Structure 1
Amino acid sequence: MHSSRPFLFWVFFFFVSNLSFPSLSVPFLPATNNNLTLFGDASITNDAISLTQELTTCPFSSPSASSGVGRAFYAYPIRFLDSKTNATASFLCRFSFSITPSSRLCSSGDGIAFVITPDVDSLGSSRGGYMGLPEPSSVSKESFFAVEFDTRFDPMVGDINGNHIGIDLNTVVSVACVDVVSRGIDLTSGREITAWIEYRDAVKMIRVWVGYMSTRPPTPLLVAQIDLSNQFKEFMRVGFSASNGQGSSVHVVGRWRFKTFGSLPPGNPTDTFEEGDCFMCSSPEDSSTKSSPENRSHERKTKIVEMALGLGGLAAFVVSIIAFVFVICFVCVKKRKVTARGSREGKTCRVEANKVPTSLSLAEIRSATMGFNRHRVVGEGASAKVYKGSLSSGGEVAVKRFERVDGIGSLRNPFTTEFATMVGCLRHKNLIQLHGWCCEGNELVLVYEYMPNGSLNKVLHKSFNSAVVLSWKQRLNIVLGVASALAYLHEECERQIIHRDVKTCNIMLDANFNAKLGDFGLAEVYEHSSIIAREATIPAGTMGYLAPEYVYSGVPTVKTDVYSFGVVVLEVATGRKPVEDDGTVVVDWVWSMWEKGKLIEAADLRLMGNFDMVEMVRMLMTGLACVHPNHVKRPTVKEAARILKGETPLPLLPPRKPRVSLRPVYPDECEEIPLCGGVRPSLELDDVQYLTPKSHFGKD
């Protein structure tokens, strides 16, 4: 076999879900016929899958010549769709492969394809090659999804060259592809290449990374906005396919990992495979040695030590933050005494000693919530539940209990993100205040001040006939309160904070219906000088609130928060949801009323005309300015607040909703990725209005 070194092939499937998908964990298994189903020329060679065999002579250039097709699929179907809830799983895949031409006299084979299909037999015989996928002229009995690593140029199927990566849906004519030669990758070099494939159903996005190193490159080579929810059935088969066609190459796959999930914690890196998952597996000889009783005992001790170190590390991290806060506050207090009234509000830390978040025991938390009684749940999301509680020290609190974790493997999760953000100098009358925290055993808890009137979402969207309707004065005060909080985060903090999840569910109301912004689980903190250096991420937030350029580029800015704030403004003024049950988008609906010259008719009917008409028009126009499709033309939150107060003139709005062409925003070193056939990927605004992903905290 023409390979630079033998592959160590192990298969790992891990099925995780925070939604309705059950947990499934399969231990590492050697690549044998017990956990793999092999088809055609595929075989197990040197602990790796050889999809095609080395040929001694070149195939004859005739239609009847054997194409040398080989396939290897995981032996058991994988669940991708919950038939009861219609929830679609996302997935991550990581594997290594090599493609080595068998002879200099022969052209290279067709390449390798990673395939997801409900029925392997539906792929057909593919005697013509095409990596073992159905021929373009054939009609596939079943749908399939494939990422092809194509090493044969065939202009008849729209190939851009003989060394590219493409995404196929039900046909070998790719819907998106990228030339990898220009990115320094030679698929036919015979070198070991590692590929990462990710699909996030929440944003309907596929991303593919490729590199010669085992560490995932920072920039994906291929990004495509594709909805796979209609492609997946409840159970699908996952595997690889390759063919030689009229050429000859040895196609080898090794070290394969695959994971499905319902959701991932916000902010986590895309590549969630870590060393603790034993990705770099040992050889079979070493494995047999490790299975001895002495080694099993040693492994158990090692795991205990690692867990202790992990918990100790988090404890040290938390204690260091508290100590840092005390030091900063001490310096700030001294500075205040010296400068008296000279300091600006929000620029210095004004945390009073009795308001510093305190460490609470798990016993205190359990007592406050009556043992986390389900009848005390006042809010629930993908990674946390909120309970109403009463501490023995007095006063009602909101106890946010994060999902149980087995050890602390990463400091980048909703708990630590929110804690690290809130424990600093975030003291503002329109921000929910953190009173305490608990990190004991595998429990992670944050304790906030309790908001008796709940979320703005619940109050605003009660039944039309509800006796409790927010007055116009209350609504204006709420919008101004949220604007004040965001202006503080964006401009008045020492470091700029992008909330990334501004929505009515995260705006809480106190006893007097004053607004307080909360839930910093998705927040990003930046130095003011580093704004330009921000990297693209998977967009996180809630359907209807995300700016179109953020959905497509993944780069959060203050203007993406402004867009979300604008949706909240329109929501408060009209009483409509961001996306109504019939699919009507409040942003589009208010724009249509503006175009018709009937903007005032967008006012919430439940107010029954009890509002100041000038103030209502001002609020609606401010909301439209904040959701302008062109982020450059949106005001800052502080400017929007001044318009709402009548301190500056009304914004200038175009007579019709602008149609802005969106193009993907990539880092400087990443070129724009073309669609096959020479069509450059761009979206009109109307095409992306539904691309905003569902919330990580979708329940109220």
Structure 2
Amino acid sequence: MHFSSCFLVFWVTLFILSFSSLSLPQPVNNLTLYGDAHFRNEAISLTQELTCLSTSSSSSGVGRALYLYPIRFLDTAANTTASFSCRFSFFILPSSLCPFGDGFAFLITSNADSFSTSNGYMGLPGSPEDSFFAVEFDTSYDPSLGDINGNHIGIDVKTVISYASVDVESRGIDLKSGRHITAWIEYRDSLKLIRVWAGYSQIRPTIPLLVAQIDLSKQFKEFMHVGFSAANGQGSAIHIVDRWRFKTFEPYPSVNPIDMVEEGDCFMCNTADSGYGDVHERKTKIRYKAIEFGGLAAFVFSIIAIVGVISFLLVRNKWHFRRNKQVQQACPMQTNRVPTRLSLAKIKSATMGFNKKRIVGEGASATVYKGSLPSGGAVAIKRFNKANRFECTRNPFNTELATMAGCLRHKNLVQLQGWCCEGTELVLVYEYLPNGSLDRILHNSSSSSDFLSWEKRVHILLDVASALTYLHEECERQIIHRDVKTCNIMLDADFNAKLGDFGLAEVYEHSCISREATIPAGTMGYLAPEYVYSGVPTQKSDVYSFGVVILEVATGRRPVDNDGIVIVDWVWNQWENGKLHKAADLRLRGRFDLLEMERMLMVGLSCVHPDHEKRPTVKQAARILKGEAPLPLLPPEKPKVNIRSVLPTTSEQLMNSGGDQSPGFDDQPWLTPRSHFS
């Protein structure tokens, strides 16, 4: 029976190869072309001009050109990841009859044959199993994909929803102009830093257009394919790429170096540009010889692949068993509390079909309902609005992500109990906290039973400090909250505080919109000045937000009131005039310890110090609040805002330099819920 199965596999493979040989991508020189891609003079045209009513030879006008051989990026044995840089020129020719196509992307992918034919995807891999990195040159505007406009450059990591993007039109570059544009892309693994330049000149600009901190070693497989991908979608344009150079390198020598692409390798250049002469010609001849054996190699490989698929089906159950075991080890003693996936039918049943009478809170991005699940107990069900959700199949909210969230266990963190990602609905299910948010009770409650006494206020602040200390210092890897505010602080029946939206909600709320490198995420009034300036969150930017919460709790004032008065400036003014005690909330009617009130206000001012280096940690702030540490030393008046970079010195130099200097040290990685769960 085993022999007959292998015999059947052999003939099925032979039939598939015979049937598909007519449509296999054909290697030309050192490139492999797919779909609509073709050579045009001495360049690659990734797409063909279409009429709006016609269809191309491949769905949505997809074309792709990849370097013939996979390139090694990762050495798992030596724990080494290659850095890389590339330069290429391109121009996009519009059609007079149709709107612009989707655009094109520089692509590094684990699967050369995986395409997406969806509009706006530029032919990038569409399977969640495919690992890829892309720099997109997007000429279409699709808000559902997080596009900022129809003329931008974005960085994509395993999803077409950009990790970071920049409006290039505001920088004097028009992707749709038809002009020759040169782009430079560089990744430094030692700094986990991506930089992108572009311009009409052949000389690289001094300052990059786009900078993002990403650890690509977690995305790369050992061997990856490198090239370009484009699609026309519902429009039409000709995307042409030429003069492409690409190289991989290591910032520092290693004992067992990765097999790198040679310095200056020119993957697609004119003879005059290549700089190789006879050496490059000999390489090309060798590659031609290799292609002659391609047919036989493909046949053998296909047989191995099909046998591999059969083997995979046999061992899949075993793999799932091991995976479940790893989850238990990653989240010890808590696997029974891992959030579970719920059906939309159960969610609707729990909220009586999202009945308006069940609404307990509404925000700009979501509506919160009180519900009850069959398992018992009330829950808070957060349903994202249409503008802040997308088809879950595009970027599935999977069990692994929920498991990671489930591992964050702390008595002062709102616990995620379940989730639903079905069709276009994204719903998160949290434990229900009957007293709602601190913002509601502090600013909107008229009930005397909800009035926050001085003792309750101190207790709430210490609870929040405990949660932030856990995220900053006690997790296996540091997590930056990014949105500490009274709306995200929930209170249980005994007025114990729990910090909410510490990860999952923020991931999906903000991954739907582009995150430009210099635009911070969060709420105005709570944002640290250096975060607003640089867009880079740190532990100290969370400290600033916590400081605003302290001042808000002590004074009863909003971060920015209806008259536009900023609470931070107002309390500093009280301090400068020697009347700090007059900042106390009048509703307390003097029922507080004056020394404790002044201590709380001084701690708040130290946390919102304009110089992030002079702010305490949350843990230190909590010790001062409890009287376990001396009062902070404050200047006699509010210091002027003097923005200092929150990046390491070498990172800042790399961001602002056009040179190729090697980094001086590896940047200490920072982590936020958004990047942690993406």
Map residues 592-607 of structure 1 onto 2, 5 A cutoff: 592-607=573-588
Partner of 1:53: none
Partner of 1:630: 611
Partner of 1:359: 341
1:528-549 deviations in whole A, cap 9, x for unaligned? xxxxxxx956310001111111
Once the two structures are TM-superposed, the CA of residue 671 in structure 1 deviates from its matched residue by 1.5
Map residues 407-556 of structure 1 onto 2, 5 A cutoff: 407-410=392-395, 420=402, 423-462=405-444, 468-521=450-503, 538-556=519-537
Q: 1:278 to 1:655 in 2, by over 3 A?
A: same
Partner of 1:379: 361
1:45-69 deviations in whole A, cap 9, x for unaligned? xxxxxxxxxxxxxxxxxxxxxxxxx
Partner of 1:221: 209
Q: Does the aligned pair in 1 maintain the 2:95–2:237 contact within 8 Å?
A: no
Alignment of 1:148 with 2:133, yes or no, is: no
Once the two structures are TM-superposed, the CA of residue 375 in structure 1 deviates from its matched residue by 2.6
The one of 162, 168, 193 aligned to 2:182: 193
Partner of 1:93: 151
2:533 counterpart SS class: helix
Alignment of 1:566 with 2:547, yes or no, is: yes
Q: 1:360 to 1:542 in 2, by over 3 A?
A: same
Q: Does the aligned pair in 1 maintain the 2:611–2:643 contact within 8 Å?
A: no
Q: 1:508 to 1:325 in 2, by over 3 A?
A: farther
One-letter code aligned to 2:622: A
Once the two structures are TM-superposed, the CA of residue 616 in structure 1 deviates from its matched residue by 0.8
- Partner Cα separation in structure 1 for residue 206 and residue 521 of structure 2: 19
1:630-662 deviations in whole A, cap 9, x for unaligned? 111111111111000000111111111111322
Q: Does the aligned pair in 1 maintain the 2:416–2:428 contact within 8 Å?
A: yes
- Partner Cα separation in structure 2 for residue 148 and residue 580 of structure 1: 38
1:189-225 deviations in whole A, cap 9, x for unaligned? x8543699xxxxxxxxxx9952699xxx9984389xx
Show structure 2 runs of 5+ residues with no match.
1-39, 52-91, 101-138, 155-165, 186-194, 212-227, 240-318, 508-515, 659-673
- Partner Cα separation in structure 2 for residue 417 and residue 460 of structure 1: 37
- Partner Cα separation in structure 1 for residue 182 and residue 450 of structure 2: 62
Partner of 2:671: none
1:540-596 deviations in whole A, cap 9, x for unaligned? 000111111111112111111111100000000000111111111101110110011
1:669 counterpart SS class: helix
- Partner Cα separation in structure 1 for residue 480 and residue 167 of structure 2: 38
Partner of 1:392: 374
Q: 1:420 to 1:653 in 2, by over 3 A?
A: farther
Once the two structures are TM-superposed, the CA of residue 447 in structure 1 deviates from its matched residue by 1.1
Q: Does the aligned pair in 2 maintain the 1:94–1:194 contact within 8 Å?
A: no
Partner of 1:531: none
Q: Does the aligned pair in 2 maintain the 1:357–1:436 contact within 8 Å?
A: yes
2:653 counterpart SS class: coil
Once the two structures are TM-superposed, the CA of residue 468 in structure 1 deviates from its matched residue by 3.5
Map residues 632-671 of structure 1 onto 2, 5 A cutoff: 632-662=613-643, 667-671=652-656
1:174-194 deviations in whole A, cap 9, x for unaligned? xxxxxxxxxxxxx99x85436
Q: Does the aligned pair in 2 maintain the 1:325–1:423 contact within 8 Å?
A: no
> What TM-score, normalized to structure 2?
0.51
Q: Does the aligned pair in 2 maintain the 1:397–1:449 contact within 8 Å?
A: yes
Q: Does the aligned pair in 2 maintain the 1:453–1:510 contact within 8 Å?
A: yes
Alignment of 1:210 with 2:215, yes or no, is: no
As a proportion of its length, which structure holds more helix? Answer: 2
One-letter code aligned to 1:656: E
Instruction: Give the alignment's Cα RMSD to 1 decimal.
Output: 4.9
Identity %: 60
1:496 counterpart SS class: coil
Q: 1:115 to 1:482 in 2, by over 3 A?
A: closer
Q: 1:461 to 1:632 in 2, by over 3 A?
A: same
Once the two structures are TM-superposed, the CA of residue 494 in structure 1 deviates from its matched residue by 1.0
Q: 1:149 to 1:389 in 2, by over 3 A?
A: closer
Partner of 1:100: none
- Partner Cα separation in structure 1 for residue 525 and residue 184 of structure 2: 33
> What TM-score, normalized to structure 1?
0.50
The one of 90, 96, 109 aligned to 1:32: 96
- Partner Cα separation in structure 2 for residue 553 and residue 322 of structure 1: 45
Once the two structures are TM-superposed, the CA of residue 382 in structure 1 deviates from its matched residue by 4.1
Q: 1:10 to 1:468 in 2, by over 3 A?
A: farther
Q: Does the aligned pair in 2 maintain the 1:590–1:602 contact within 8 Å?
A: yes
Show structure 1 runs of 5+ residues with no match.
13-27, 37-73, 81-88, 97-113, 117-144, 151-164, 166-186, 197-206, 224-272, 285-319, 333-347, 526-534, 674-695
- Partner Cα separation in structure 2 for residue 503 and residue 11 of structure 1: 51
- Partner Cα separation in structure 1 for residue 199 and residue 180 of structure 2: 10
Once the two structures are TM-superposed, the CA of residue 416 in structure 1 deviates from its matched residue by 6.9
1:244-301 deviations in whole A, cap 9, x for unaligned? xxxxxxxxxxxxxxxxxxxxxxxxxxxxx996874996769xxxxxxxxxxxxxxxxx
Alignment of 1:368 with 2:344, yes or no, is: no
Q: Does the aligned pair in 2 maintain the 1:368–1:389 contact within 8 Å?
A: yes
Q: Does the aligned pair in 2 maintain the 1:499–1:524 contact within 8 Å?
A: no
- May I ask how many residue pairs the two structures share in their alignment? 406
Q: Does the aligned pair in 2 maintain the 1:502–1:565 contact within 8 Å?
A: yes
- Partner Cα separation in structure 1 for residue 371 and residue 181 of structure 2: 56
Q: Does the aligned pair in 2 maintain the 1:430–1:482 contact within 8 Å?
A: yes
Once the two structures are TM-superposed, the CA of residue 440 in structure 1 deviates from its matched residue by 3.1
Q: Does the aligned pair in 2 maintain the 1:430–1:516 contact within 8 Å?
A: yes
Q: 1:421 to 1:628 in 2, by over 3 A?
A: farther
- Partner Cα separation in structure 2 for residue 418 and residue 610 of structure 1: 49
Once the two structures are TM-superposed, the CA of residue 387 in structure 1 deviates from its matched residue by 1.3
Q: Does the aligned pair in 1 maintain the 2:548–2:608 contact within 8 Å?
A: yes
